[in-house]
Chains A and B, each alone.
Chain A
Amino acid sequence: MNELLFTALATLLGFLAIILATVFFSVLKAGPKEIAYLRRKRYGLGPWFNGSLPKTSRGATMRELEGIELKAANGRLVHARQTRAPSSELL
């Protein structure tokens, strides 16, 4: 029974590895221009973690998502932050 479970788990992990391999090859194919673009936009681990990609375009776009953080204290707004991240629409 354990062998079957491990086999299923190994298959899933293998699929995951293949999916990530496709990301690897798509990045390889695109070259360093995406890094250059994101560096200029001041993207990085911090903005990725916090969802704080700077606004880089006006008008309609499918390349970014945006949301908002709000917090109130005693009925008064005390925190507001526009969140933004690259969209996965064209992945």
Chain B
Amino acid sequence: MAVDPFAFPRSGPLPWDDADRAYAGWVPTVSGHLSFGLIDGRGRCSALSHRDSGTGSRVVVALQKRSAEDFPLPGRVVSSIRQSATQDYLLLAKTGPAVTPYIEGAKIHEQLEEQGVLSGVVLIVPPEEVSQVRIQRNALLDLVRNHVEDVADQCAINPDLDTTTLPLTLLQEFVSARGTIAFHQLKFALFRTGECRIWFDLSDLLGRDISQAPISSVEQIAISALPSQAYYFLKDVIHLHYHHDPQTDQLIDLVATEKTSSLDVRDNQWRIDTLRGLAKVVIEYRQSNRPDSNKKALGLLAYADAFQTTLARVRRQGKLDDPMLENKALIPYDFKHVRASIEALEALNEYRRGALLQLFGILVGVVLSGFALWAGAVQIQPILCNISAERPLCPKVTPGATTNIVNWVVANPLGFVVTLSLFGFAAFILFFRGVTNVPFAKPILRWSKQLSAAVGTTAARLGRGSDAFGFVIQLSFLGLLVIALGLLAYHLVPKNSVPPVVVRSPQASTGPWSALDPYIGRRPRDTGLFTNSIIAPELRDMLGSDYEEFLRLLDVQSPLQRGATLWVVGHANPEARDGAFLLIDQRAQRLEIGLRKHGNLQMYRKTGAILQKPLEVARFIGGSVADVGPFPIATSSCRSQTGGAAGNVTHLSGAMRGLEDCSYRFDLRQGQSLTYNPKLARGLEVYVRPDGSPEIKLSSRFLVAKTGMHTVRVAWERTGTPQDATRPLRPFYVRLNTE
């Protein structure tokens, strides 16, 4: 009768005693009793755990692809480039009877459990680089995967399905492929107490007769490293990692049970090493200042205590049927006091954290209340000023950082949201003392810290062992990363530039057009003066179809400057004489625009007095005799245009209401005369006023007595009745000849 390789012996020598290599470790169980029914709790394997209704034996099969996680990128990503980083692990096992020790009243007891041990094999299948073989290897693994999933599906429908032969069937599939497909086989036994034994003969592990050829260096690495990897795989499949990262598998080490040592030492040492390792890890957690370290330490302490309670206190004898003895070599740890210390530390940390959170709450409350009160005061201030009996003037508010911030917030709502989010995030990190609670932060931390440490260490080695140099390089590297990310974030945020608020110039108006003050000193193209500002609609209305021409003529433009009025002047291109200017009277809210095309100047101006022109605009106008131009019908306007072969005809036109008038400036020489035909200007009156002299009504001809500037004013005839003021807007035209 064939021996079932999955059956664990009830008696006789320990099965791992005769193996070439044997190891012992612990699969943590806080209750002291592992459940073999809870396999692959995280659902990362193709797994089956089925209890045979006849024998009560449980069949466990699990197939998992595992990658080394020691690279800058996740193992699965690395394995797409470097296939060797990922292997397939297959667990084939059955439960069977075994003695389970327990301690009651300081005395060791034993109980035979029918399903007290899970025993079987772990197969590790490396990737294959020869394509033909790789196809066979992958086909075999697919066969196993499909088989396991099919059986699991059938078991869900039929719990009485006989699965007891499944592990052997799958093992035979691999054994029959040996020589073609590489795999490494290790035996294991996992007891209810979590005691885990792994053993193998070298020929099983390497898949060849080792007497035929010496063990190569590559095989030596496999011999030393594979038991630990099989152990990590078993822990991953059987147990969930509650108190540490799943990748941190070495919190409990696998201990080699040396054949050379006595049985006592062999069976005691792994228990002592495991307990010491657990205690060491608990202390390492306690010493860490991470916010969750104390809680992790308490969790691990529970496991250490569970191990110390039973497994650390017993030891096996030479045979399975020998009763377990007390492990007298163990000096127990006082975990009770360690727990008290950690709990006190945690309470202290909680107290500090609570105090910090209160401080945080108070600070946030005070800052927000401060802003709210300030906003309220700003609204109330004018009311209080106005209801006072004496009507005192409100104190002047000097612009400063606060007003600049308020302006910036109003103009940049998205930037404000980003800034607040970053402040909140930074405050969270500051008050919770770390970023590891932030989702996805840990991989970033790990990556950046390890990379920067690698950069710093390499620099230190290149710098002939100067650690300070490496430290500076590490800091510089991190600092550059931070700055680069910060700058990138800054450039991505939508921004509106807001010039700083300045104290109002005495020349500036207090009316709505005072909003133009921030545009001063900057080119209109950069500020949107002609397109987005408060004057833009009026500018379009006045210029009508010439608006685009105006923009074109101001292609090379000066900044907006303040004189008696605000002004800007420019040209179509650097060499062109054609150009335009704009005058803005902030107080009177009036505009005056000049366009020069092909030497002819057209002026656009609102009715009323002529705006005083700065020197630059006067130079721009040059020898033009007239300075006003056409208007849209809906708006009162004064317009002028020079004409005639010698440029001696000036057409004055526009649109005025009853009491409005239009004024024009002429530079005339002594002896020149101004003439017009009153019959062609019915209903109009034309006046001339030399500078420094009274105004004279022009009948038909005016002789210039003295060289200088003359103001010509055109108005509707008035009757002296109230109807003068109510007359509608009407166009007018006067032709003036200069001789």
Interface string of B710-734 (1 = CB under 8 A from A): 0000000000000000000000000
In chain B, positions 424-459 with a C-beta closer than 8 Å to chain A are: 425-426, 429, 434-436, 438, 441-446, 448-458
In chain A, positions 64-91 with a C-beta closer than 8 Å to chain B are: 64-91
Contact A13 B288, CB 8 Å, known A20-B485, A51-B71:
no
Interfacial chain A residues near B84, Cβ < 8 Å:
69-71, 79, 81
Decide if A38 touches B225 in the complex (CB within 8 Å).
Answer: no
Contact A38 B457, CB 8 Å, known A18-B429, A67-B69, A83-B68:
yes
Interface string of B271-283 (1 = CB under 8 A from A): 0011011101100
Decide if A35 touches B126 in the complex (CB within 8 Å).
Answer: no
**In angstroms, how far is the closest chain B Cβ from the Cβ of A48?**
4
**In angstroms, how far is the closest chain B Cβ from the Cβ of A31?**
7
Decide if A66 touches B468 in the complex (CB within 8 Å).
Answer: no
Decide if A48 touches B454 in the complex (CB within 8 Å).
Answer: yes
State which of B75, B280, B482 has its C-beta within 8 Å of the C-beta of A21: B482
Decide if B127 touches A82 in the complex (CB within 8 Å).
Answer: no
State which of A15, A36, A68 has its C-beta within 8 Å of the C-beta of B467: A36
Interfacial chain A residues near B475, Cβ < 8 Å:
24, 27-28
Interface string of B214-256 (1 = CB under 8 A from A): 0000110110111011000000000000001101111111000
Among B67, B208, B448, the most chain A Cβ lie within 10 Å of the Cβ of B448
Decide if A17 touches B478 in the complex (CB within 8 Å).
Answer: no
Nearest A residue to B128 via CB reads A72
Decide if A45 touches B458 in the complex (CB within 8 Å).
Answer: yes
Let me know if B617 is at the binding interface, CB within 8 A. no
Decide if B474 touches A35 in the complex (CB within 8 Å).
Answer: yes
B interface secondary structure, majority: helix
Let me know if B337 is at the binding interface, CB within 8 A. no
Decide if B87 touches A70 in the complex (CB within 8 Å).
Answer: yes
Nearest A residue to B219 via CB reads A77
Contact A7 B288, CB 8 Å, known A65-B248, A74-B130:
no
Let me know if B471 is at the binding interface, CB within 8 A. yes
Decide if B248 touches A87 in the complex (CB within 8 Å).
Answer: yes
For chains A and B in complex, what number of residue pairs have CB atoms within 8 angstroms?
Answer: 288
A66 CA to B468 CA in the complex, in Å? 29
Contact A23 B445, CB 8 Å, known A6-B494, A59-B277, A85-B450:
yes
Interface string of B120-150 (1 = CB under 8 A from A): 0000101111100100000000000000000
Interfacial chain B residues near A9, Cβ < 8 Å:
489, 492
Let me know if B290 is at the binding interface, CB within 8 A. yes
Which bucket holds chain B's interface residue count?
35 or more
A58 CA to B412 CA in the complex, in Å? 57
Among B126, B178, B293, the most chain A Cβ lie within 10 Å of the Cβ of B126
Decide if B127 touches A71 in the complex (CB within 8 Å).
Answer: yes
* Number of residues on chain A facing chain B (CB within 8 A): 74
Decide if B470 touches A16 in the complex (CB within 8 Å).
Answer: no
A interface secondary structure, majority: mixed
Decide if B467 touches A35 in the complex (CB within 8 Å).
Answer: yes
Contact A23 B229, CB 8 Å, known A60-B280, A79-B84:
no
State which of B247, B293, B490 has its C-beta within 8 Å of the C-beta of A10: B490
Decide if B441 touches A24 in the complex (CB within 8 Å).
Answer: no
Nearest B residue to A63 via CB reads B284
Nearest A residue to B248 via CB reads A89
Decide if A66 touches B129 in the complex (CB within 8 Å).
Answer: no
**In angstroms, how far is the closest chain B Cβ from the Cβ of A16?**
5
State which of B278, B436, B457 has its C-beta within 8 Å of the C-beta of A91: B436
**In angstroms, how far is the closest chain A Cβ from the Cβ of B623?**
51
Among A10, A19, A52, A68, the most chain B Cβ lie within 10 Å of the Cβ of A68
Among all A-B residue pairs, the 10 with the closest Cβ atoms: A67-B68, A60-B277, A51-B70, A70-B126, A72-B182, A48-B454, A88-B446, A32-B471, A85-B70, A17-B485
Chain B interfacial positions (CB closer than 8 Å to A) = 67-72, 75, 82-85, 87, 124, 126-130, 133, 178-182, 184, 206-208, 218-219, 221-222, 224-226, 228-229, 244-245, 247-253, 273-274, 276-278, 280-281, 284-285, 288, 290, 293, 414, 417-418, 421-422, 425-426, 429, 434-436, 438, 441-446, 448-458, 460-461, 465, 467-468, 470-471, 474-475, 478-479, 481-482, 485-486, 488-490, 492-494
Question: Knowing that A20-B448, A76-B208 are A-B contacts, what are 9 other residue pairs whose CB atoms are under 8 Å apart, sorted by A's residue number?
Answer: A13-B488, A14-B418, A15-B438, A23-B445, A35-B457, A61-B253, A66-B250, A67-B229, A75-B128
Chain A interfacial positions (CB closer than 8 Å to B) = 3-4, 6-7, 9-11, 13-24, 26-28, 31-36, 38-39, 43-53, 59-91
